[in-house]
Each structure stands twice: as structure tokens, then as C-alpha cells.
Amino acid sequence: MDYQDFRRTGHWPTLLSAFLYFDVSFMVWVVLGPLALYITQDLALGVEEKFGIVAIPILFGAALRVPLGVLADEIGPKRAGQVGQLVVMAGLAYAWLVGLNTKLEVELLGVVLGVAGASFAVALPQASRWYPPRYQGVVLGIAGAGNMGVVLDAMLVPWLAERFGWQAVFGVLLIPVAIVFILYSWMAKDAPDRPEPVTLKNYALVLTDHDTWWFMFFYSITFGGFVGLSSALPLYFTQWYHASGITAGMMVAIVVFAGSLFRPVGGWLADRIGGIRTLQMLFAVVALMYLTVALMPEGPRPGGDAMSLSKVGGWSLLELPGVAWGAVAIFFVGAMALGMGNGSVFQLVPLRFRREMGVMTGLVGAAGGIGGFFLARALGWSKGLTGEFALGFVVFSGLALVGLAGLVLVKSRWRTTWGAVSGARV
């Protein structure tokens, strides 16, 4: 890639601000994952209810992407992004100052946090419209790498909850969200080639195209897997490997770092060898990793002293048994493949639907959120029904294999039709 040409071609302040906006939004979106360890303990909720709470923001993040995408087309991505950030700041301020005392209040906050998850429908099209087809994989990989915010969540949220209480975490989150709101308002700029506003009719027309459904399915596997694991793994590591809250957070940080860091790599690789070929390799890795982790045995429980050292007690990071570190290694490879898969899917989407990018970002992003919701819920249902998590992981391993088969079905048609005139590798 010609980096000088890349700098001259687009608008780097918008790309940077889109990254920051998505980064803090993602951090807020999945904060109930690590916080659920503490919230559900105070509210005395069961295992399935715990996984249900962390799944709510994911579901509403998916559901709100289309409305936020429509709003972005009506008033411009920058204004839509500002509106979304203000709503999220209001929700965080309420949770911090007033407090959450019931399961219903936590669930309602989860709905508000879904607005943060819907930021995907604003940040990615906003960055994409500044750059030509040959840079779409890299650009959308950079903007989408904003999901690195979940790494900070996993590392810091349990530590803050242990020392200051879980409700204080919402006040702390307001600080980076407010800073990014100021930077975004200053730096972001809408591209000059603003498309016509999208209507529900536009969505209906795009949904009649089979390729739309394929992209939605593929992204439900890649992004759904990433965000589902980001939210569910803190509970999984405490339930299955009996890690303390802080230790579980560090384990998750290691895993999700891989998915976040390698998203731009997936876009870059797709630009070089084609998104289809890249996704085929990655789906095979994802299926294998899910299946492998499904076969991992439960870890041993620590002694009573270790369990009482913190609010959410368990093994410390240095005391974790080998089987737990083995699971972290497997999840690390799987998350790396999922993150690269996210970048690969969004190398292909703008090549096929350049003029409908706002619509497609909303639909494909929504499908990714729905995939994450079902992954989190499936793990909860699996634990509740069988006492183990294996069934949930096996189901998603099978979905990755179905995705691989789908790519085999469409690759010849894609490469000989729109791929042949796209101006990039498919």
C-alpha cells in the first residue's frame, strides 16, 4: 500500500475520530460483561439470568443500528454520532448518580447502552465515504478496530468495581466518553459525496438481494462471535475455571486484544488476496477453536481462603491452573480469526454495495449484534440445561462451518459478476 497516497486520498481526522468514537462506544456497550459478576452477585441472580443481562445491550445494539443509520443519512453522520453519544452519556450519568437497584433497571440501562453499540452504523460509513475502493479493507479495519475499547473494559472495570463499587464505574466511564465527544465534534467531517437519505423502501430493496443475507450471515459469525465472547467470557471464566473477578477480566483482555488488534490485518489481507479466500481460512480456524474449547474440562476450584479475598473471589492470575491458560490460548487464536474476519467482511461489503453502504452497514452490523446476542444466550442456556458450556460452543462451531460452505457456494458468482468490475481483489 502506498501510505503517502493513502494520506492524500482521504481525511485522516475523520478516520481518527471515527475510530475514537467507536472505541469508547464499544467500551460502554459491553461494560455489563465484566460488571455482571458484581451486579448479579448483589441482586442474587441465577446463571441464565446473568448471561441474559449481558446479552441485552448486544441485542439492542443490533436493533438500533438501522434506525441510527437512517438518522445518519437524514441529518448527517456527524450529527447522528453526536446525538448517540449524548444519549449514552445521559444513561451513564443516571446509573452513576441515581443508581440501579433492580434487575429491571439494569435491563433498561442495557437498552440505553445499545445506542453505543449502534455507533457502528455511523462510524464506519463516515470513514468509508472518504476513501476509494482500493483502501476500503484498511479504512474499515482501522475504524472498526475501535472495538479495542473492550480490552480496557476487561482490564479496568473489575478492578474499579472491587475498590469503589460497581455503580461508581459508570461515573468513571463518563470521563473518556465526554473527552471523545469533544474531540469528535471538533475533528469529524462528513464526506462531500453525501448519498441520498435512506428510507425504509431502500432497506426493503436491499433485503431482496441474496448477497445482503450472505453478508449478514457471515458477519453474525465473525462480529457476533467477537462481541458475544467479549460479554460472556467474564462469566464463563468465573463459572468454568473459577477465576476471581479481576483475574477473569485480565483473561478476557488477553483474548479480546487479539480480535481487536487483528481486525485491520484482516482488512489488509483481504485487500491483498481477496476477502473470500481470507474468510474461508478464518472460518475454518474459528470452527476448530470453538470445537476445541467445547472439549476443555472444567478447572479445579480454589480453596476457601482464595474465594474470600475479593468480592468475586477465585484464582488469582498467578495461581490459575494450566487448563485455564490453555483455554485462554485457544480463545486468543479464535478471537484473532474472528477479528480478522470482521475486517474481511467489510472489505467485501463496500465493493458490492458502494452506493448502499449506509444501509448495508446498518443491516450487516445488526446481524453481527444478533449473532453476539445468541452466542451469549446460548452459553447461558447450555450451562443451565446441561451444567456445561460445551453445547453452546459446538453450535457456533457448526455455524462457522456453514459459513465456510456458503463461501464455496457464492465465490464463483461473486468473482465473475460484481467482483470483476469492483477495482479490487475479491
Supply the DSSP symbol for 309: S
Indicate the range of 32-41, 64-73, 250-259, 400-409 predicted with least confidence.
Answer: 64-73
Q: What is the mean pLDDT of residues 344-366?
A: 83
**Does residue 138 surpass a pLDDT of 80?**
no
What the chain holds in terms of domains, given with CATH numbers, is: 13-416 (1.20.1250.20)
Please, are residues 266 and 334 in contact by the beta-carbon 8 Å criterion?
A: no
Choice between 93 and 363, residue whose per-residue pLDDT is larger: 93
pTM of the predicted structure, to 2 decimals: 0.85
- pLDDT at position 4 is 63
Residues 6+ apart with CB under 8 A from 307: 313, 314
Indicate the range of 44-53, 150-159, 304-313, 410-419 predicted with least confidence.
Answer: 304-313
With a pLDDT cut of 90, the percent of the chain lying above it is 46
Please, are residues 350 and 79 in contact by the beta-carbon 8 Å criterion?
A: no
Angstrom CA distances, 220 to 42, 351, 355, stand at 33, 19, 22
Supply the DSSP symbol for 315: B
Residues 363-409 have pLDDT tens digits of: 888 899 899 999 999 999 999 899 999 999 999 999 999 999 999 99
**Does residue 120 surpass a pLDDT of 80?**
no
User: At 3, which helix (H) or strand (E)?
Assistant: helix 3-9
The three-state (H, E, C) secondary structure of 41-110, written as one string: HHHCCCHHHHHHHHHHHHHHHHHCHHHHHHHHHHHCHHHHHHHHHHHHHHHHHHHHHCCCCCHHHHHHHH
C-alpha count within 13 angstroms, C-beta hemisphere, residue 65: 31
User: Closest by alpha carbon to 153, among 57, 82, 77?
Assistant: 57
